[in-house]
């Protein structure tokens, strides 16, 4: 079951990257330095920190846990909060939301506690990103299933093959 969950998680990242017009190089479920698997991609357009670039990156980051949650029949927010394999996704989402100004970092009274996030604003921004990723995954579930099946069969697939699988399941503008 663990291998299947990883395949769906990585397929979610890969499908979102393709649909959001990122350059996808490859996706794998092989364990490596990055964890249990990874989808190697570059956001569409420039790689600077424009709002559109950051928005794509955080939706792609949230799409893996969203696909994992769907296959595990759990809530995506719960997967992100409780699955240690999602730590890098969570960090990328929070960094992106901070960059977009979705919440502020505020000084705490005590220097020992350092800075803390305004949790109300962070929760709203986080929930918005997860909703977007859930919608994307739900609307393109057949593509996620197709990519996950190929990952289970081959361990690693290249970007062009993922694009072909996604195109076969959906119309990509």
Tell me the domain boundaries of the chain: 2-89+129-169
Note the pLDDT of residue 109.
40
CB 88 within 8 A of CB 38: no
Band (64; pLDDT cuts 50, 70, 90): very high
Mean pLDDT of 44-73: 82
Mean pLDDT of 52-68: 88
- With 0-12 CB in 10 A as exposed, 13-18 as middle and 19+ as buried, what is 114? exposed
The three-class DSSP label of residue 21 is: coil
Domain spanning 2-89+129-169, CATH architecture: Up-down Bundle (1.20)
The set of residues, in sequence order, having a beta carbon less than 8 Å from that of 94 and lying 6+ positions away, is: 117, 122, 126
Band (16; pLDDT cuts 50, 70, 90): very high
Q: Which residue has the higher pLDDT, 39 or 137?
A: 137
- pLDDT over 80 (residue 123): no
pTM above 0.75, yes or no: yes
Band (43; pLDDT cuts 50, 70, 90): low
- pLDDT over 70 (residue 45): no
- pLDDT over 50 (residue 22): yes
CB 41 within 8 A of CB 23: yes
- pLDDT over 50 (residue 96): yes
């Amino acid at each position: 079951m663990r291998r299947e969950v990883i395949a769906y998680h990585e397929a979610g990242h890969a499908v979102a990257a393709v649909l959001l017009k990122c350059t996808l190089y490859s996706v794998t479920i092989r364990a490596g330095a990055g964890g249990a698997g990874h989808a190697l991609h570059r956001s569409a357009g420039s790689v600077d920190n424009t709002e559109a670039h950051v928005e794509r990156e955080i939706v792609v980051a949230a799409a893996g846990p969203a696909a994992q949650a769907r296959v595990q029949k759990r809530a995506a927010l719960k997967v992100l909060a409780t699955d240690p394999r999602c730590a890098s996704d969570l960090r990328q989402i929070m960094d992106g939301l901070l960059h977009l100004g979705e919440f502020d970092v505020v000084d705490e009274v005590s220097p020992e506690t350092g800075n803390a996030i305004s949790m109300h604003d962070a929760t709203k921004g986080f929930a918005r990103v997860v909703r977007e990723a859930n919608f994307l995954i739900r609307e393109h579930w057949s593509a996620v299933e197709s990519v996950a099946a190929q990952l289970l069969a081959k361990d690693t697939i290249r970007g062009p093959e993922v694009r072909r699988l996604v195109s076969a399941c959906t119309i990509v503008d």
